[in-house]
Amino acid sequence: MLTDVAITNPFPGLRAFEEQEDVLFFGREKQVDELLKKLRTVRFLAVIGSSGSGKSSLVKSGLIPALYSGFMSGAGSQWRICTFRPGSDPIGNMARALAEDGVLFHPQNTEEQLTLGAINESILRRSSQGLVEAYRQSNIDTKNNLLILVDQFEELFRFSKLEKDAKEVKRDSVAFINLLLRATEQRELPVYVVFTMRSDFLGDCTEFRGFPEAINEGQYLVPRMTREERRDAITGPVAVGGGLIASRLINQLLNDVGDNPDQLPILQHALMRTWDIWKKKGDPDAELDIDDYEEIGTMQHALSQHAEEAYAELTSDRQRKICEVMFKALTDKASDARGIRRPRKLGEICALANAPINEVIEVVDVFRQSGRAFLMPPASVKLEADTIIDISHESLMRVWDRLIAWVDEENESAQVYLRLCEAADLYETGKGGLWRDPELQVALKWKEAQAPNATWAGRYNDMFEKVMLFLDHSRSQYELEIKHKEEQQRKRLKKARTLATFISGIALIALFLSIYSFQQKNVATKQTKLAEAKTKEALEQEKIAREQKLIAEKNREQALSQKALAEKSKEEALKQKDIANDERTKALKSEQNALLQKSIAEQQRSYAQRNEQLAKEQQMIAEEQKKKAEQNEQLAVSEQKVSNRLKDLAEARNLAYQSVLLLNENKDKESIDAALKAYDLNNRQHGPEQNTDIYNALHFNWVNSIDNKNQSLFHKYAVKSVTGKAGSNIVFSADESGQIAMFMSDGEKLQLLHSINTRQDIRSLVMSTDGSKLAAFSAAGVMFVYSITPEQAIKEAQQVRFTGIPKTAGYHNGSFYLYTSEGLSRFSADGDKMVANGSIARKDINAMTVSGTGKILLAIGNKISMYSGWDALDQPIQTFTSAGTLVITMAMDPTEHYLAAGTYKGMVWIKDLKSSNSTYSNALHLSSVNDLEFGKTADGKVQLASASSDQTIKLIDVKDAVSANRLEDIVTLRGHNKWIYALHYAANGSLISASEDNKVITWKPATSDLYKSVSALSK
């Protein structure tokens, strides 16, 4: 076989060197010796290196031939090698590899090999000692060393993630690791384990208990080859193959490779192609030279150019489509952004491509024929339905431009499908709604372009049928809504025409009436002047009369006062006379009594002296008992106070509950009294200011008293955004029809000041700090900039285009900042105009907010990074990890004391930025948190409001939450009947919310403020 290699091509290309190709493997002699020493010591060897560093070749064509040659002292030369990859069935793959001829058995045919594989798998799954037991039951001579070689070990981490996503109780990935560890810990049987793994997956090893410790003992990090070693790797195979290579080509290759370790497969591929070009020329005495190397496109383009040549050999669109589906299936960037190979059975590829096996084999053979080896297995292996097809090396994923585009396209397609899975699951459980534009249109275009099937979807999630039903239902519902809106529009137009005709008639009648009114007005004016003169005279007479009356009343009051004073003096004199007589009688009696008491005192003095000593002793005892009694009394009083307080607090909540029941029975006065008593009792016992029961009792009474006028019904479509002018009670809201409204908030309701219609779906509103400019961002990619006039009117200034669907916007120091589905954009003032002033393409961002001092916060997954400004987005000044999963909204309070984040699963996270340990995290909502807003309530407390798709708003006392006192309740506001999109605190302390149900609602977030309003109702 080596002779054949020498005759054809001594370079393997992208694939790794195999065991029988050791005579072609050069440049790694030192590393082979180091591996032998390490393996002899630990029996568990982890060969770690970056992609393309030659890990597999080092083990297969370096270590294994050395073992067969007996170069590992104390182990001999009798070795059984079990080589496999984990794939999606690590234990099953190991069992089948152990059953291959020459490992533990010598099966006579395929059927016997399958049977042995099943037996092995049963033994391996029995316990963590399964690998040792399988060796023991094979009855081979214990002088035979067993080497378990696990190639591409990183595949196990992808499999482990799938297990965790499926919430498997017994995980094969954990059992597989334990089999390897237990086998190498024992010394009774000669079992060794070697595996190869990409270094960027080292962190994933910590997932398995005991695995990092074993790697630390047996890790071998593949070093970079020196320039001389790379020279040997180039010249050695050429010499074995019987060729010559020019020195200048050697130097050119060494320079092109540089110090980048992942260039080795590309180097091997370039040498293989160069050898083929040299061989075609038919001059064995000529050297491989620069012209041969440049003809194949050099290392920079050789691989991509070669792959394109193979792709060009596909003769039909059908074959090219099969090729695209196949390579998308063999690569994986959706489950791991680092990009890994994903081997698949040929039968699976046929199902994905909806093609018969013979058509797929034709395409596979194009990419695995001699001199290419883009796919495995080699061309010499016959393909069957269960044959594993794999890309020969990750380098192809990084270099072939067409495959790079396919991988990105597949990743985007997978992300759309996974989002649909999540939405369908939430809808099924009643925690989410159907999709609407623009998400719906994106999904429908995806379905039409990608034509997904159940086999493809099964790679990511098994909810394909549910997803398709969800998508169809969403489209049907959307079409019904459009039809309904069109019908409503026709009715409104018809009504408007009828109304216009009626108004015209009324106007004509009004004209005649106005003429008659003018005539009558002249007559009334004359009568009015006469009446005014008479009225003036009457008022003067009335004034004189009032003055005379006041003088008379004053004189009468003085007379009465003098009379009362005289009578009082007379009574006092008589009283003093009686007192003097009584005192004289008492004095005589006291004198007689004093003489008697003197005699008695003399007698008692002698008794007192005898009892004095006894009294002192009794006094000491009494004082001690008194102290104990006082202590017990204080304890009893304290316990009684606690008991009374808890009783009163419970009674307060009961009164609040009774208040709501009374209100439902239309007993308004009784309900108000009960609500006020509940608040007073709670306040008197120093209960929590923010209590859900008491808040609801007061809130429902307040809303009932104003006849639900806190709900603005101006908008006729879903309201997506609400904002306001800083330090004022001016509020702006915008809906999906493009209607932007300007209101004045009085703390209870909204008064419409002005409105304007953009006729585009407005997704976000943001206002400049000085209140002079309002920016509205539409789903169609248009930024509408408005100036707000001193007369409180909205005046359009200009329109600016941007790309992507807007998510969140912010403002600082003359610039608007926008986060869209495509990345970040900044718009700044240029004279009187706003112009685009920078953009950053970032699709990995899922939330953004801008602080009052210009800090920009970006969320990727559940990681939050804080940047000092737009020009410093490459270096965060602080990073945080929020609890839960994907962060979709953030907020920072105006003083930059607190940072809050909300996730798509309903988690709310609050961080005290002034304290490293003060953090609050809790799943407050049943669905996604759509908006967060900090505000100061009417009683001065810092409060966080969170709006969710579960149709509720939560009010959180921030200081209480982050300090972990948990004294205050988290109040739940219910009033919307669809998703709540946005929140805003007005300067008067009221909270404004916007929802899918077309409503903009005003709330009083402070319980004390509600109490004042309800108290006024009882007077």
Q: Note whether residue 184 is domain-resident.
A: yes
Q: In this structure, are 668 and 755 located in the same domain?
A: no
Nearest to 62 by CA among 71, 75, 49: 71
List 711's β-bridge partners, or say none: 1001
Q: In this structure, are 56 and 167 located in the same domain?
A: yes
The Cα 674–Cα 1016 span in angstroms is 14
The Cα 605–Cα 916 span in angstroms is 77
Nearest to 906 by CA among 374, 429, 291: 429
- Residue finishing a domain among 709, 742, 760: 709
Q: In this structure, are 967 and 904 located in the same domain?
A: yes
H or E segment to which residue 766 belongs: strand 762-767
The two structure tokens encoding residue 510: 């009004």
Q: Answer for the pair 773, 729: CB distance below 8 angstroms, yes or no.
A: no
The Cα 193–Cα 693 span in angstroms is 64
The amino acid at 57: S
The Cα 219–Cα 213 span in angstroms is 10
User: What's residue 358's pLDDT?
Assistant: 92
* Region for residue 838 given its phi and psi (left: phi exceeds 0; alpha: psi -120 to 50; beta: otherwise): left
The two structure tokens encoding residue 444: 């429908």
CATH of the domain at 876: 2.130.10.10
Q: In this structure, are 109 and 33 located in the same domain?
A: yes
Distances (CA, A) of 850 to 267, 877, 893: 48, 14, 11
* Region for residue 618 given its phi and psi (left: phi exceeds 0; alpha: psi -120 to 50; beta: otherwise): alpha
Q: What share of the chain is helix, strand, coil (3-state, %, to 5)?
A: 50, 20, 30
The amino acid at 871: D
Q: Note whether residue 773 is domain-resident.
A: yes
Q: Note whether residue 296 is domain-resident.
A: no
DSSP per-residue codes, 674-691: HHHHHHHHHHHTT--SS-
Q: In this structure, are 726 and 833 located in the same domain?
A: yes
- Residue finishing a domain among 662, 685, 709: 709
* Region for residue 50 given its phi and psi (left: phi exceeds 0; alpha: psi -120 to 50; beta: otherwise): beta
The Cα 372–Cα 269 span in angstroms is 8
The Cα 246–Cα 228 span in angstroms is 16
Q: In this structure, are 905 and 804 located in the same domain?
A: no
Q: In this structure, are 815 and 958 located in the same domain?
A: no
Q: In this structure, are 139 and 40 located in the same domain?
A: yes
List strand residue ranges (DSSP E) for 861-925, in order. Answer: 863-867, 878-881, 887-892, 898-903, 907-912, 919-923
Q: In this structure, are 770 and 877 located in the same domain?
A: no
Q: Note whether residue 588 is domain-resident.
A: no
Q: In this structure, are 897 and 980 located in the same domain?
A: yes
- Residue that the structure tokens 């070795």 belong to: 79
How many Cα atoms sit within 13 Å of 617 on the Cβ side?
Answer: 4
Quick one: DSSP state of residue 871?
G
- Residue finishing a domain among 810, 828, 843: 843
Torsion, Cα 595 600 606 609, to 10 degrees, reads: -90
H or E segment to which residue 29 belongs: helix 29-42
Q: Note whether residue 953 is domain-resident.
A: yes
Residue ranges of the chain with per-residue pLDDT less than 50? 1-7, 552, 559, 566, 569, 573, 580, 587, 594
Nearest to 739 by CA among 723, 716, 764: 716
List 621's β-bridge partners, or say none: none
- Exposure string for 898-930, b = 16+ CB within 10 A, e = fewer: bbbbbbbbbbbbbbbbeeeebbbbbebbbbbbb
Quick one: DSSP state of residue 432?
S
Domain with 417, as residue range(s), is: 400-488
- Exposure string for 179-200, b = 16+ CB within 10 A, e = fewer: bbbbbbeeeebbbbbbbbbbbe
The two structure tokens encoding residue 496: 């408007």
Q: Note whether residue 362 is domain-resident.
A: yes
User: What's residue 427's pLDDT?
Assistant: 77
Q: In this structure, are 665 and 751 located in the same domain?
A: no
The Cα 307–Cα 653 span in angstroms is 75
Q: Note whether residue 531 is domain-resident.
A: no
User: What's residue 26's pLDDT?
Assistant: 93
Q: Answer for the pair 939, 957: CB distance below 8 angstroms, yes or no.
A: no
Q: Note whether residue 557 is domain-resident.
A: no
User: What's residue 579's pLDDT?
Assistant: 58
Whether the CA torsion 169, 171, 174, 175 is positive or negative: it is positive
Number of domains in the chain: 6
The Cα 377–Cα 383 span in angstroms is 8
H or E segment to which residue 261 belongs: none
Distances (CA, A) of 13 to 370, 378, 441: 10, 12, 45
Burial of residue 860 (CB within 10 Å: 0-12, 13-18, 19+) is middle
Rg of the chain over all Cα atoms, to the nearest angstrom: 45
* Angle (CA) 36 40 44, round 5°: 95
User: What's residue 700's pLDDT?
Assistant: 93
Q: In this structure, are 905 and 871 located in the same domain?
A: yes
